[in-house]
Amino acid sequence: MGCVQNLGYEVILEYTSFKESREYIEKHYSDIYYVDPGFLLFEKRMIGVPPIALAIEGEDTVILPYTKPCFGTYLLRVQDEEGAAYVRANARRKP
């Protein structure tokens, strides 16, 4: 997959911080996971302030913060069954 542009994403929040993204995820989703910077998802290493919160919506949708250099951080919704399964198998689930 590689490039987020090719994933068919929906923007949930624009020009946000990692803290605001984490708080939004914790408030709006129940299937929450945490990863550290460097976590590989969609063939890209995640950057951010730990813990980086991710959420799974349904069976096949990943909610994640994504930083685009020179543009800022966005909270995205990406429908990808493989990505959702990867997060469930490799990230720390919220206790």
Q: Per-residue confidence at 3, pLDDT binned at 50, 70, 90?
A: low
**For residue range 62-93, what is the model confidence (pLDDT) as tens digits?**
999 998 878 889 999 999 999 999 999 999 99
**For residue range 47-66, what is the model confidence (pLDDT) as tens digits?**
999 999 999 999 999 999 99
**Whole-prediction pTM:** 0.90
What pLDDT does residue 1 have? 40
DSSP result, the chain: ---GGGS-EEEEEEEE-HHHHHHHHHHH-SSEEEE-TT-EETTEE--SSSSEEEEEETTTEEEEEEEETTTEEEEEEEE-HHHHHHHHHHSEEP-
